[in-house]
Every structure is written in C-alpha cells, then in structure tokens.
Structure 1
Amino acid sequence: MRFERSITGLAVAALLSSTALAQTAPQTPGPAAAGVPNPAGPATPAAAPAPQFQLADGVLATVNDSVITGFDLRQRMLLLIAQTQVQPTPENLPAIRQQALNLIIDERLQNQELDRYPDIKATDAEVEEELTAMASEVGATAEAYAQSLAQFGIRPSTLREQLRTQIGWQRLVGGRFQSRARVSQGAVQAALRQATEAALKKQYLIGEIYIESARVGGQQAALNGATQLVQQMVQGAPFQAVAQQFSAAPSATRGGDAGWVVEGTVQPALQQAMDQLSPGELSRPIPVEGGVYILYMRDKRDGSTSSLAQIKQMMVELPATATEAQVAAATQRLEALRPQLTCDNILARATSEQGLLGTDLGEADPANLLPQFQQVARSGAVGSISTPIRTQLGVHLLAVCGRRAGGAEAPNAQQVENRLFGQNLATLGRRYMRDLRQDAAIEFKS
C-alpha cells in the first residue's frame, strides 16, 4: 500500500499546510493540451472549510442488505474531495457523488467477502500503524492528521475503516491469486523480446485517467466528468490522487502511472494526442469507445538503435589468401551442416568435428562486431542460423541466440517478471470484484 499511502498523504497535506503552490499553464498549448497539472503534490488553498452540499437523509442504497445512508455518502464524498483536492462545483458534484457511491458499494462487497476469512482482517493496530505512517510522510502526527480531517468535516473513523478494508482486501487478493499470477519464463522472454522491439520505436511516459462510461451513467456523463477533472487538475488538484480515486484503468492503483507506452500500441485518438502533447502537459478529454481518457505526458523519447545480441559461431579457418576452391569447399561444408544446427548444439558440433571451430561470442552490441556480422546480429531472428559468411579469418555460421534492448533503461528479466506478476494480480483482483458485483443484490432507493 505504500504508493497509495503517499498519494493520499500528499493530498491531505493541503489541509495541514498554509501554503498553496502556484500552477503555470503553457503560454501556447497545443491543440490536444489543456494545461499543466500538478503531478503529485497538493496545490489548493489550505485549511478550507468543509464543502457545503445537500444529500437526502435516510437510506440511499442497500448492498446485500447492508445499508448505505446519506451520512455514509457525505462522509465518503468529503474524504474523496480531501484525498484528490478536487474542489466541488455544481458541475462536478454529480461525478463526485457517483464515484463516492461506487467506492462505498465496492467496499461493502469487499467487507462482506472478508467476513468469510476473519483470520486475514486488518487489526486495529495495523490500521493505526498505517495511519501513523501516512501522517509521518507529510510531517504530521497521527493526532494532527485526524484533526485535519475533522476540520474538513470527516470523522477519523471514515478513513480508518477505508484503510482497514484496503489492507484486508489486498491481503485476500494476494493470498488467493498469488499462484495463478505467477509468470512463466516463456512469458518473461516474450516480454523481453517485445521490449527490444519497442526500443526501436518512439515511446511516451504516460499518466492516464480513464472514466468508464458504464460506471458513471453514460458517455456524455463520462465526458462531462472528465472535463471537470481536467479543469481541477490545471487549477491544482494532484494528478496522481485524482487518478487513484476516479480512474477505472488498472494503473489507478499506481496513481495513473501507465509507464512507457510504445508508438502504435494504443487507439488512434490516444496516439494522436500523445504525438501533440509536450512533456508536462495535460490533455483535454479524449473520447474513446466505452469511456473517456485524460493523458498526462510525463516524458518522451525517440526510438533507440541500441540492442544487444547473443551470438555463437561455427567456423572453418581460412587465410585471406585462400583460393576460391578452398572457400567454396568450406562454404559447402557449413551449408550442409546448417539445417542440423541450433543454439543449443552448435558449439558441441563444432568441437566434435575435425577442422571446425566453435566460439561463444556472448552478448554484444552489433556495432562492435565484424562488419560482416553486423546485419545478422541486428536483424536475424532469435534462434536462426545464418548462411555462411566470409571474413579474412575464414568462413562462419552465426547463431543468433538472444536479443535484448541495450542501455541503462532496458529492463532485466527480474524487473519484467515483477511487472507481469503485478499486472496479473491486479487483473485477477478486478475480476474478483466484478464477480462480486454481478452476484450482489444492489438496490438504490429513489
């Protein structure tokens, strides 16, 4: 929960601070840009009074006979406003209300599921430890943190119960799906190959917020809500906190961090916006099928030609003065062997036959290899054996046994495995939540 904790702490820190951070919009924003957001920290006037809005009293909804009252919804709306620093307006209050109601419904379902596993529920001590850690990250004590919430009209118990549910739910999802989320070595190697191919294309470091139309009452409601969120973020609401609370994308748990996105892997409308946005700019709402996106362009980089190839070779030594007949004989011998060779056996075959040499060239930048080898190292398919290649040293067969992106930013196998595991676990958790919603009896009172 560490990333979620820091986002919430930064947002609520605005209630503890007496300084507002200024926002600077670009002087000439591009056609896709709405302005410059505050990517992480609070940027609204401090110690604002609790927002004033009216909600119906009594029961608003039931979730499997668990009652949601007007008081419950108001408390969650206030907490949502405090966490995101989105200032309530007549235009965005319906979206805030809908999101708060969705969050309460999800938490009621999560708590009902957690009731089946009492051993994994978060204890009071664990909740207090989490609250203390959140407060310390913004330089406050737990008591001062709770007082700031109370001044905003939020009962400290509201945040405590949210934390209790989050701790228990993450524990339940992790325990239940850990084995299913594990990543095969084949998937890791495939992802590494994709990363190598992606390194040759333009890449965009993206923050994303996705408003799903089905959850907010239709496409127009999603567009209206996204428009209000963009205005709030340009005025100071922290992008990460808004993404965590409002986005339906899997990246919401990471504050909207979608990581490096490769050119050509997203919908055309999103690609067009990414091409137009400059680093530091926030997009206008981008309608797509099923919802609306908001993009924050954190950085861009051009494709790199830097890649590393793992090469093994078999060769017949011949001097530069060898006759055409000698070269032809060596070429014919290697050509006859080529269909039988693989990365696994090429060195063994070379050492077992007289007149052949085998060498593992290891992992190398193609630019550092002999000129005759460079094209094979750059473009040969992994697992392929080249046709015979003549150099001043002899005649060679090259086996391309691996390839990965080069440079300091290239991921290693462990990083890829961890990322894929996290994605798998998040996907399984979302499916779990979807199934609970589908099976639940949710009734809204008029």
Structure 2
Amino acid sequence: MSVPVRKQVMWWGVAALVLFVAMWLLGQAVLPFLLGAGIAYMLDPIADRLERMGLSRTMAVVVITAGAVFMLAAVILLLVPTLLRQAAALIETAPEMMDKARGFVYIHFPELVPEGGTIGSALSDLGQAMGEQLGKFAGTLLGSVRGVFGVVALFVIVPVVTFYLLLDWDRMVERIDALLPREHAVTVRRLATEVDGALSGFLRGQGLVILILGTWYSLALALVGLPFGFFIGIMAAVLSFIPYVGVLIGGATAIGVALFSFWGDPLWIGAVVVIFAIGQVVEGNYLQPKIVGGHVGLHPVWLLLALSVFGALFGFVGLVLAVPLAAALGVLTRFLIERYLESPLYTGKTAPPEPAPPVLVELAPRGTLVTELHKAYRREEAENNEKIAEADAGGPVQHDVPNRQG
C-alpha cells in the first residue's frame, strides 16, 4: 500500500526545514565543501571525456587537478593584483570624475543645473557619496572574502574536497539514485535531469561566454590605453550573465573614464564605444545562441531575485547557492504548473476512477476439468488401497473406507 500524499508532503517538508536550518547555522563552516562540490560538478564532464579517451578515472582526475592548480596559481599571481589595484584606483578617482562631469554640465548647460538648485546639489553630493560608499563596499567585500576564504580553506580544503568528489562522482550519483523513493524515482530523475540542464547551460555555457568577453574587453581596452581598462573589461564580462546589464554598466563606466581621460581626442572615445559595440554584437548573435541557447536557461529576473533573497538570508553562502537553488526551484515550479494544468482544480473535471486490477483467465480445452477430477479420484483410491493392504499385513484393523460405489 502506497504512503498517503499528505504524509509524503509532511516528510519532504520536514527534510526541507532541516536543510534550511542547517544552512542557517553551518553556512560558513560548510562553504568550502559547497565550493568543492560545485567545482567537481563543473569538471565532471571533462573527467568523463578523458575517460572515454582511455585514461582511468584516477589519472583523469589527477590531470584535471594539475591543470586547475596551475590556472589558479596563474590567476592569483598575474590577474588578481592588477584587478585589485585598478579597482582601488577607480574608486579613489570616481569623486574627481563626478566633479569634472558636474563642472562640464555647469559650463555648457547652466540652465539644467541652476546655482543652488536641486540637481546641482544632488550631483555634488553624489560624487562624495560615491567615493565613500564604494570605499566602504570594497572594504567590506574584501574583508568578508578574507574571512570566508581563509588560507586553509582556499588552498587546502577546497582542492581536497574537489579531488575526492570528482574521483567518486559517478559512484555517488549511482548511490543517490539507488536511495531514491521507488514510487517517485522516475519523476525525481526527470527533475534532476532538467536541473542539470539548467545548471550546465548557465554555469558552463555562461562561464565560457564570460571568459571570451573578458578577454576581448580587457585586452582591447588596455590596447587603446584606457585607464582601469583591464578591471572595467573584466567587470563588464562578469556582469554579462544578466543580458544588457554588463554592456550597459561596463560601457557607461568605460565611456565615462574615456571622456575624463581622452577629452579633446574623440578618436579614442569612439574606439571605446566600438569595442563595446563589437562585444555586444558578438555576444548577442554568436556566443549566447551557440553556447548557451541550446540549454534550459535561467531568466535574469528570477536569477536576480534568487541572488537577493538567498544573499540576504544566508550571506555569502546564499550567493554561492543562489544559482543551483534558482535552477532547482525553477524546474520544480514548472513541474508543479504542469501538474496543476492536469488537475481537476484547473480542468474542472474529476479524475476518472482507477481501473480494477486485471483478472487472469486461463483457457483450457473442453473436458479438461472432468479429466483432472477422474485422475484425482484414481490417485486417492490407490492411496486408500495401499493403506488397507498395509493394515491387513499387520493384523486385523478396523478401517473406515469411504464408499464411492454410488
């Protein structure tokens, strides 16, 4: 007999509540393990491909680990210092840029910002507030990153967790599949496949798009000599996971810096505009359709909502888990909508009753039952005769033999 739906909902609700409380209490402690699991998930297709090429699972994981360690060391040594230096310089220069922009507006468009007017005061305060708030934000972010990603967690726990999870990934998936409730195993497998499609489409596909755009923006802006060009290019590429946001914020920042740095030389200002125009055309017409377009994606609004909600609830751990949880909730929401559209609540019709269990009917030739009864009668008569003979051989014994002559 199957478990009632109400009891199943109660059990799954308790499991979700336990998970929520665990994330709330142990978020920072389990963060390195979550990062290791996420990295292992992203690298598992590479390990599978190396296995198909003839390498053992262990050797494939060793090769991937060596390559990942080399790339991480190169990024930390070559890119991170430049990014931090340019980000700090841009934050320090932002108030000066705002003052220059305000002066330009005062000189060329005095009617827009009359002296003592609201707009003028707002622009004046915006420059000061921007420098203060950006400085506080950068300090808070770097402080939280140093607190979360300690030396031990970053360089020891995460690589070790990634190595062992990547080594046993296929066996873990098989074990989890074997533990699924048998009644819902097919449905859970279907939902897991859809979640994997959404995650792989966003993380792997969008990661490749960000890598390509980051290389183009940072190198191109650095070649035209734009101050802070490397940081602005990386920032625009990272924000490109939200359509149009990366190019708008990155483009506006780059053009503002170009106006501040190349004023009087429109050729270089136009070059900055062309760089972002080319990046947007390539991203919209080639990168997104070819790399990400074939996957079940995450809607930008849904992703922003997930980042805001989970970040507010669980801090940095919530930001790390926002993408996979948003993918899972999106797939689950679509599944529930499908069930709702099939339910009597939507159609207004009661569901047909369950069919009765089938009855097995065996067809036999005519006279089979009579023949079997005669065989059973002869067997019983033979057994009784044997008992009478044995009793006569042992002495006179009173027997009660059924009379079947009639």
**Which of the five TM-score ranges fits, normalised by the shorter chain?**
under 0.3
Would you tell me which structure has more strand in proportion to its own residues? 1
TM-score by length of 2: 0.24
Task: Identify the structure with the greater helix proportion.
Answer: 2
Taking structure 1 as the reference length, the TM-score comes to 0.22
Larger RCO, structure (CA 8 Å, separation 6 or more): 1
